[in-house]
Chain A
Amino acid sequence: MTGWLIRRTADAALTALVAVVLLVILVHLLPGDPLAPILRDRGADPATAAALAARWGTNRTILQSLAALFTGVIHGDLGLSLSAQRPVLDVLADHLGPTLLLGSLTLLIDFTVGLALGVWTALHADLATARWVSALSVVGYTVPSFVVGTVLVWLFAVKLGWLPSGSIADPLLSSSAGTWAILADHLRHLVLPLAALVIATIAVPLRQQRSAVFEVAAQPWVLAARARGVAPARIAWRHCWRPALTPIVTLLGLWLPLLVAGAVFVEVVFNWPGMGLLLAQATIDRDVPVVVAGGALLIVTVQAGSLLADVLYHVVDPRQRPT
């Protein structure tokens, strides 16, 4: 197992390396002027354009960019963001926190409430309520998240005035306010974006789990247990839960990158200062250092997610020999 883990980790690192190289090549192929975030709609005489290109390294070849990236990683300096004119790492750090907060809470709810609802709707498939829950989750998934978000803001912030319309904290809150006041303020700002994200995503774990439980429920050992007269609830928790976890583990591995990628539309609607907003804007603005660094971070999380999923397969189902 240990040997396998080492091999698998080395393999993930190599894949990540190849992916980063591919990313740099892709970013080089992006159409558009790399100085756009600096120049905007201004002109630049040839001397200015040349000075800017040299300073920002926008005239590098692919090989030079790769070399700069790898020496940058070694020195812990990935250059400056073109639009923020600050170190890329600082910019990423500023945006990573809010996205991690929102993303981890969403994942937590999705994979607790969502999975529980999945089991419940599968075991009570005859109940009208269960069918409605299942169907509504699909509606939540299908309706664009910015619509859900905008409606939530309109209702709870603009009309009722119960919650703030967006952002992660109240900038007017005095820095001398107590810990509880600051925490309460963060919570108030979290409610609506979190609700919008959960509504938009919960259908996937819910329906995967529901479908997996259906399948497991038809297996001989479950039928046997039922024939023995074991209580349905006991069957559900003893026999259905664990085998049905495999697709959920895959899903968790797939969704882990969402923790750092952020949800663009929810972040836009709620002005949540996260990675989704940052990377989308950086892509549109051609802020290449941010796109590359953010993309590399994403690549690493994807590999980590896939590695984690493989380890979890083994935990969930020890018969699966790691290969």
Chain B
Amino acid sequence: MRSGARTGLVILVGLATVAVIGPWFAPDHDIQGNLLTGTLQLPSAAHWLGTDALARDIFARLAYGARVSLTVAGLAVAVATVIGVWVGLTASAPSRVLAGVAERAINLGLAMPRVIVLLVLLAGTGQIATGWLGLVLGLTGWPAIARLVRGEALRLREAAFVAASQALGASSGRVLWREILPGTLPALLVAATLGVADAVLLEAGLSFIGVGVRPPTPSWGNMIYEARDHLMDAPWLLLAPCVALVLTTAAATLLGESLRRSLLPESR
């Protein structure tokens, strides 16, 4: 039962280690090799994961990129979840006024095309710091989570145990925190763990409209984006960041599952 959590933790710690100390072991992530002969090299002793179209070491870029991407994705998911839970719970609250405002905020947030919002917010400023990028992605990503939480909370309000708890005289705040919030966790955890992959891929997509991280700083997103042109002649360029991304999502999923089990012990 605990093996899933352990595997997830081991993967995440491993990735974090690579992100923190990997860059010291790997060569410089900038252009090093010969641009005419050193490009698109297969993995070797000198370049553990090969080189890209500009003769840059892929392992080095992956390690540096881990810092950027894990920061962006982690922040984005955290911010989106916190705001999403808060707004979503408010939208399910018995208070009509408050719930109405929150519900309309969710609907408005969902309706705005995210790319246009991000372009308006970011395009004029050029590239921004990693932390800010994560924050902005989170600030534009919460409505979907809020909607999910609202749906779950509405259902739980009608559930027998909540009604019982209310009948026993529990305050509405207590009901919210002790009964409803834990009840939304299963759906929330699935959304949040998949959200990590979403954030990294969104960052890759943003490269296309020029609002991602500033080159030559590597990120998994812009590695994936730049490798797209070489999917046919050098597929290993894509393999490295994709595997890293799959590992991250898998680890987050495993951790999420075991978190759900420990928080809701009755569900097996």
Q: Is B242 within 8 A of A313, CB to CB?
A: no
Given contacts A22-B112, A212-B186, A247-B148, contact A313 B119 (CB under 8 A): no
Q: Which residue of A lies closest to B209 (CB)?
A: A284
In the assembled complex, which residues on chain B have CB atoms less than 8 Å from the CB atom of A235?
Answer: none
Q: Which one of A214, A302, A309 contacts B186 once the chains associate, using CB atoms below 8 Å?
A: A214
In the assembled complex, which residues on chain A have CB atoms less than 8 Å from the CB atom of B206?
Answer: none
In the assembled complex, which residues on chain B have CB atoms less than 8 Å from the CB atom of A306?
Answer: 106-107, 110, 147
Task: Give chain B nearest CB distance to A149 CB in angstroms.
Answer: 10
Interface size class of B (residues with CB under 8 A): 35 or more
In the assembled complex, which residues on chain A have CB atoms less than 8 Å from the CB atom of B238?
Answer: 147
In this complex, how many residues of chain A approach chain B with their Cβ under 8 Å: the count is 65
Q: Is A254 within 8 A of B144, CB to CB?
A: yes
Q: Which residue of A lies closest to B148 (CB)?
A: A250
Interface of A is mostly: helix
Interface presence of B155 (CB below 8 A): yes
Interface presence of B240 (CB below 8 A): no
Q: Is B197 within 8 A of A142, CB to CB?
A: yes
Question: A6-17 toward B: CB 8 Å interface, digit per residue (1/0)?
Answer: 000001100110
Q: Is A317 within 8 A of B158, CB to CB?
A: yes
Stretch at the interface among A65-73, A87-95, A108-116, A133-141: A133-141
Interface presence of A146 (CB below 8 A): yes
Separation of A138 and B197 alpha carbons in the complex (Å): 10
Question: B69-112 toward A: CB 8 Å interface, digit per residue (1/0)?
Answer: 00000000000000000000000000010010000101110111
Number of A-B contacts (CB under 8 A): 161
Task: Give chain B nearest CB distance to A65 CB in angstroms.
Answer: 15
Interface presence of A189 (CB below 8 A): no
Interface presence of A132 (CB below 8 A): no
Separation of A23 and B99 alpha carbons in the complex (Å): 24
Separation of A92 and B106 alpha carbons in the complex (Å): 26
Q: Which residue of B lies closest to A322 (CB)?
A: B154
Q: Which one of A15, A215, A250, A253 contacts B104 once the chains associate, using CB atoms below 8 Å?
A: A15
Task: Give chain B nearest CB distance to A23 CB in angstroms.
Answer: 7
Given contacts A15-B107, A30-B120, contact A211 B197 (CB under 8 A): no
Q: Which one of A141, A146, A283, A299 contacts B228 once the chains associate, using CB atoms below 8 Å?
A: A146
Q: Which residue of A lies closest to B245 (CB)?
A: A142
Q: Which one of A12, A144, A151 contacts B204 once the chains associate, using CB atoms below 8 Å?
A: A144
Q: Which residue of A lies closest to B200 (CB)?
A: A142
Mark A residues whose CB is within 8 Å of B. 11-12, 15-16, 18-19, 22-23, 26-27, 29-32, 125, 135, 138-139, 141-144, 146-147, 150-151, 154, 203-204, 207-208, 211-212, 214-215, 217-218, 246-247, 249-251, 253-254, 257, 264-265, 279-280, 283-284, 291, 295, 298-299, 302-303, 306, 309, 313, 317, 319-321, 323
| 10 contacts across the A-B interface (CB closer than 8 A) | A26-B116, A26-B120, A147-B238, A150-B228, A215-B264, A250-B150, A250-B152, A299-B111, A306-B106, A319-B158
